[in-house]
Amino acid sequence: MKILVTGGAGYIGSVTTQELLNQGHEVTVLDHLKEGHPEAVDKRADFIQGDIADATLLKKTFSKKSFDAVMHFAASCLVPESVSNPSLYYQNNVTAGLCLLEAMRENQIPKIIFSSSCAIYGNPEKMPITEETHRSPTHPYGETKWAFENILKWYSQAYGLKAVSLRYFNAAGATEKLGEVHDPETHLIPNVLKAALGHLPHVEIYGNDYPTPDGTCVRDYIHILDIAQAHILTLKLEQTTAFNLGNGHGYSVKEVIQTTERVCRIKIPTKISPRRWGDPPSLIANSQKIEKELGWRPRYPALEGIITSAWKWLQNHPEGYSTKTQKTEAH
Ligand code: UFG
């Protein structure tokens, strides 16, 4: 199939691009490279540097090729930043997304697969979280993801668009060539590995007084290759729906650090810091819906394997991707 991948120079978009190409699909990546990495874009893909908010560019892109689907990863995704600058999140995650949807509509692109997030559930008490768990986002990032899911629902009803929202839990791990590089890096596993490599003096543990077994937050870490495979499976769906994507096992911050120490055979210094604003104590997925409906099974569910893949990648790329990301304005 012919797929347009927005945000294909980013962490999850680049891995999905690679896997789509490995499975014989034709991929065009659209990314403005403000956060993404040109080196992460698979050479087999066509690459367009530009913004999903650029209607003229989208028109040109869609008139050149008849795409079967769009996989929409391009988004801003830092929770604290979304609280301090909600305008940026509504613009990038909602307004720009609408521009993409309008261009799809005008050019009769029939399907979109959208990167949603467990952040739409907020702080649920009952674990694991199913797709029916009450949606109650607690920050603008989560709100924008939920808002866009709702836009997709109504566009689907009115215009016949097929839209699948994949609600990722905590994406982690690496492939041989592609790994996680954010600036700033806020995620737990990359920071623990940086501390193991000596690039950080210690790992900050944000709060050890949560109502969890060891007092630190519990998350459901899922390998990016399993996320990529879920995207590819959804291509065969002819309906509008949403799926959770997680392994169904929760690990605390302390367990992640202990597992990393075993993988790296290094004692990792830690420091207990205050809670980070907006962190729910526990987020664990029930992903039975995608298992039943699409036959998705995580191939890399073990935390140790997920961390090992990220550790190997970091050792081979201690400074991230080789050249600095080109910071360019969108067209
Ligand atoms: N944490 C630390 N130290 C760090 C980094 C993180 O203790 O240096 C803790 C966090 O407080 C949290 C856990 O590790 O309890 C996981 O944090 P991450 O930043 O790795 O991931 P989050 O669970 O905060 O974020 C993920 C996605 C977001 C999404 C969010 C929903 O990355 O996109 O889940 O809550 F919005």
Tens of pLDDT, residues 275-306: 998 899 999 999 999 999 999 999 999 999 99
The domains of the chain, with CATH numbers, are 2-172+221-245 (3.40.50.720), 188-219+249-316 (3.90.25.10)
Do residues 197 and 249 touch, judged by C-beta distance below 8 A?
no
Say how far apart CA 320 and CA 167 lie, in whole Å.
27
Question: How many other CB atoms are there within 10 angstroms of residue 12's CB atom?
Answer: 22
The protein residue with its alpha carbon nearest to ligand 1, atom 21, reads 187
pLDDT digits (tens, 9 = 90+) for 115-142: 999 999 999 989 999 999 999 999 999 9
Expressed in angstroms and rounded, the spacing between residue 187 Cα and the centre of ligand 1 is 5
Beta-strand pair 162-168/241-245: parallel
Ligand 1 atom closest to the Cα of residue 217 is 15
**Average pLDDT in the 49-63 region?**
98
With bands split at pLDDT 50, 70 and 90, how would you rate the model's confidence at 4? Answer: very high
The pLDDT value given to residue 278: 85
Nearest Cα neighbor of 103 from 141, 52, 140, 34 is 52
pLDDT level of residue 5 (50, 70, 90 thresholds): very high
Q: Supply the pLDDT for residue 36.
A: 96
Which residue among 169, 217, 251, 275 has the greatest number of ligand 1 atoms within 8 angstroms of its CB, and so is best to mutate? 217
Banded model confidence at residue 327, pLDDT cuts 50, 70, 90:
very low
> Which one of 35, 81, 170, 227 would you pick to mutate in the ligand 1 pocket, going by the greatest count of ligand atoms within 8 A of its CB?
170
Q: State the distance from the centre of ligand 1 to the C-alpha of 329, rounded, in angstroms.
A: 29
Give tens-digit pLDDT for 267-277: 999 999 999 98
User: Residue 10: pLDDT above 50?
Assistant: yes
Mean pLDDT (whole number) for 190-215: 97
Specify the ligand 1 atom closest to the Cα of 192.
8
- Spatial neighbors of 22 by CB under 8 A, at least 6 apart, are none
d(CA 95, ligand 1 centre) in Å: 26
List residues with catalytic annotation.
141
Q: pLDDT tens digits for 254-266?
A: 999 999 999 999 9
User: Which residue's alpha carbon is nearest to atom 36 within ligand 1?
Assistant: 119
Write out pLDDT tens, residues 135-189. Answer: 999 999 999 999 999 999 999 999 999 999 999 999 999 999 999 998 889 999 9
Question: Considering Cα of 293, then 299, then 305, then 309, what sign does the dihedral take?
Answer: negative
Which atom of ligand 1 lies at the shortest distance from residue 78's CA?
A: 33
Atom of ligand 1 nearest to the CA of 171: 32
What angle (nearest 5°) sits at the alpha carbon of residue 76, between those of residues 71 and 79? 125
Cα of 56 from ligand 1 centre, angstroms: 36
Chain center to CA of 103: 23
pLDDT over threshold 70, residue 92: yes
> Which of 11, 73, 168, 188 is the pocket-test mutation for ligand 1 (most atoms within 8 Å of CB)?
188
**Among 130-139, 151-160, 202-211, 319-328, whose mean pLDDT is lowest?**
319-328
pTM (predicted TM-score): 0.96
Residue nearest atom 12 in ligand 1 by C-alpha distance: 217
Residue nearest to atom 32 of ligand 1 (CA): 170
* pLDDT number for residue 228: 98
Question: Can you read off the two tokens belonging to residue 326?
Answer: 């080109």
**Which is the closest atom of ligand 1 to the Cα of 280?**
35
Q: Determine the average pLDDT of the residues in 93-105.
A: 98
Average of per-residue pLDDT values in the chain = 95
The ligand 1 site (C-beta within 6 Å) comprises 77, 79, 117-119, 141, 170, 186-188, 191, 203-206, 217, 219, 253, 276, 279-280, 283
Task: Give Cβ neighbours of residue 66 (< 8 Å, ≥ 6 apart).
Answer: 2, 107
pLDDT at residue 223 in the model: 98
Asked if residue 16 lies in contact with residue 5, where contact means CB atoms within 8 angstroms, the answer is yes
- Taking the centre of ligand 1 as the mean of its atom positions, its distance from the CA of residue 237, in whole angstroms, is 31
* Residue 326: pLDDT over 80: no
